[in-house]
Chain A
Amino acid sequence: MSHTVLRLVVIAGFVFLYAPIVSLVIYSFNESRLVTVWSGFSTKWYGELLRDPQILGAAWISLKVAFLAACLATVLGTLAATALVRHGRFRGQTLLGGLVTAPLVMPEVIIGLSLLLLFVALDNALGWPGGRGLSTIVIAHATFGTAFAVVVIQARMVALDRSVEEAAQDLGARPLRVFFDVTLPGLAPALVAAWLLAFTLSLDDVVIASFVASPGSTTLPMVIFSKVRLGVSPEVNALATLVIATVSILALFSAWLSARRRGAGSGLSG
């Protein structure tokens, strides 16, 4: 293939990636309820969106769930990455390696159904978690968030200079002290990136939440999904534009963080 053809394919690829997103944003300012038939510039759908109690309530639930799940996923991800990168060979390493890779690719319907069945079985046997709701969604999201967090944190940990940690050890710092004073600050950009990734993934999940949520804990993506199953909705376009704006800012921020000390990144951290 000549270079011109290659270049055209790449340009076409990027147009393909971004055209749908751009179309969402443009048509969110369309006055018409028909969404894709342009009838004039208007910001009225943003007003409608902010007055919709169902969407606002669901957004609040989603933010709470995503915050808690992202915190849990970052802590668990840091522990798992430390064990995988720093502890050499240990019993259960293959098990842990498999446990952090499998949720990355496992179809969501399987994760959702199996977690729900676990919660029901636990409820019957132990009376915990006492029905479905916020806590079951947080647990589910923290579980797959951990898998993604490990990828991001592991990449950074492999690249970290071990000699600084060894120097701290030689100077008499205990392992815990070394971890908090040396390792953790070095990992900081990856921890932020991992937290943000787990947060956005949680904020985006429909399938798993549908299985483990209760009628009283409907998340934002579940509301959006039920709306868009009926076709396009100008309110959803407005919401999409707000999400795209927020995500772009957060992603740029985390990319800037991880690019600050390291060249072009690898993995999902950017």
Chain B
Amino acid sequence: MKRLVALVPVAWLGLFFLVPFLVLLKISFSEPAIAQPPYLPLLDWADGILTIALNLGNYIFLTEDPLYLLSYLSSVKIAAISTVLTLLLGYPMAYVIARAPEHRRGLLLMLVILPFWTSFLLRVYAWIGLLKANGIVNNALLAVGVIDQPLVMLQTDFAVYLGIVYTYLPFMILPLYATLSKLDADLLDASADLGARPGTTFLTVTLPLSLPGVVAGSMLVFIPAVGEYIIPALLGGPGTLMIGSVLWNEFFLNRDWPVAAAVAIVMVLVLALPIALLRRVQAREGERP
């Protein structure tokens, strides 16, 4: 009975989350073909001879066309900058919520979480109306007279940063709040009593103690942001290079499944370190009472 309880979810997630990665790995080594499905089998059994065709071509292809390397680098850059921006906005918010009077904390947290429940797609869509040439922001600025020409904001990297910060902000605030609210207030008092100024107390006591929350929040933003597709598709321009879009186009436009699989495998390798970091922080948090 006890075994069955664990076995069912392990079997489900194993079959529909873990095994797909093995299939992905396999397809990334197969040769593209004009067929249904569009790749050749790795193993072939004919006349009692087993042939294994391990095709490294897809990976070599990724190194030959600079588009791929540039897209990986650009995705990591965009995700990293967005993560820092999200942290800069999310930290003060989490700090104030954690310091707020007990009865108000629930409401403030709920206000942070509520947008997360609202459709991600529609929240990204909202920025199109705000940022476009005859959009709400430009109309307002023109009406006030701050600008004479509409600003070009949509279809730029700026819009992508904005979209990522906006949609992932709750993921940053929640783990930060979790560590900041557990912070012992006596430590802060002690630091102040010993003559430290508020800035010094923050840098030497609060910030180091909230580091697990900083790491967890940052990874929760950075990892999915690297592979983001919807935000660059709706808010980015033709110059916005992101690996999620590259993978999407390889699959849906070029119908090159093996290259799409190779792109995905390399993305998993790029993300392996951040994912391991997140697991470590979360496991440690789990051990603490």
What residues of chain A have their CB less than 8 Å away from a CB belonging to chain B? 1, 6-7, 9-10, 13-14, 16-21, 23-24, 27, 34-37, 76-77, 79-80, 82-83, 87, 90, 92-93, 95-111, 113-115, 117-118, 120-121, 124, 139-140, 142-143, 146, 175-176, 197, 200, 203-204, 206-207, 210-211, 221, 224-225, 228-229, 231-232, 236-237, 239-240, 243-244, 247-248, 250-251, 255, 259, 263-268, 270
Contacts and interface: CB of A to CB of B under 8 A. Distances in A.
A204 B116 CA distance: 11
A1 B92 contact: yes
Interface string B161-201: 00000100100001000100000000000000000000100
A17 B111 contact: yes
B110 A17 contact: no
Given A35-B129, A37-B134, A243-B122, A109 B227 contact: yes
A95 to B, nearest CB: 7
Interface string B224-265: 101111100110000000001001100110000100110010
Nearest to B199: A1
B92 A13 contact: yes
B120 A204 contact: yes
A247 B120 CA distance: 12
B9 interface: yes
A128 to B, nearest CB: 12
A102 B17 contact: yes
A225 B230 contact: yes
Nearest to A228: B125
B205 interface: no
A24 B234 CA distance: 16
Given A17-B169, A204-B120, A108 B20 contact: no
Nearest to B21: A114
**Which secondary structure dominates chain B's binding surface?**
helix
Interface of B: 1-2, 5-6, 8-10, 12-14, 16-21, 23-24, 27, 37, 89-90, 92-93, 95-97, 102, 105-106, 109-123, 125-130, 132, 134-136, 139, 166, 169, 174, 178, 199, 219-220, 223-224, 226-230, 233-234, 244, 247-248, 251-252, 257, 260-261, 264, 267-268, 271, 275, 278-279, 282-283
B264 A114 contact: yes
A193 B1 CA distance: 26
A183 to B, nearest CB: 12
Contacts of A224: 121-122, 125
Given A105-B275, A229-B234, A16 B119 contact: no
A174 B21 CA distance: 40
Nearest to B128: A232
Nearest to A176: B1
B178 A203 contact: no
For the complex of A and B, list the 10 residue pairs with the smallest distance between their C-beta atoms, beginning with the closest.
A107-B227, A114-B20, A20-B126, A83-B6, A80-B9, A264-B106, A99-B13, A118-B20, A105-B223, A114-B24
B92 A110 contact: no
B27 A117 contact: yes
Contacts of A19: 130
A21 B115 CA distance: 8
Nearest to B111: A14
B119 A117 contact: no
A116 to B, nearest CB: 8
Contact of A251 (B21, B113, B244): B113
Contact of A109 (B12, B116, B127, B248): B248
A6 B95 contact: yes
A98 B118 contact: no
A83 B125 contact: no
A113 B227 CA distance: 12
B230 A207 contact: yes
Nearest to A224: B121
Given A6-B95, A204-B119, A95 B125 contact: no
A268 to B, nearest CB: 7
A264 B5 CA distance: 30
A74 to B, nearest CB: 12
B250 to A, nearest CB: 9
Nearest to A77: B9
A116 B13 CA distance: 15
Given A6-B96, A110-B24, A268-B113, 15 more contacts: A13-B90, A80-B6, A99-B17, A106-B275, A111-B20, A113-B251, A113-B264, A114-B21, A117-B24, A118-B20, A143-B17, A240-B119, A244-B118, A267-B174, A270-B110
B134 A17 contact: no
Given A92-B10, A109-B227, A255-B110, A232 B20 contact: no
Contact of A23 (B21, B95, B136, B230): B136
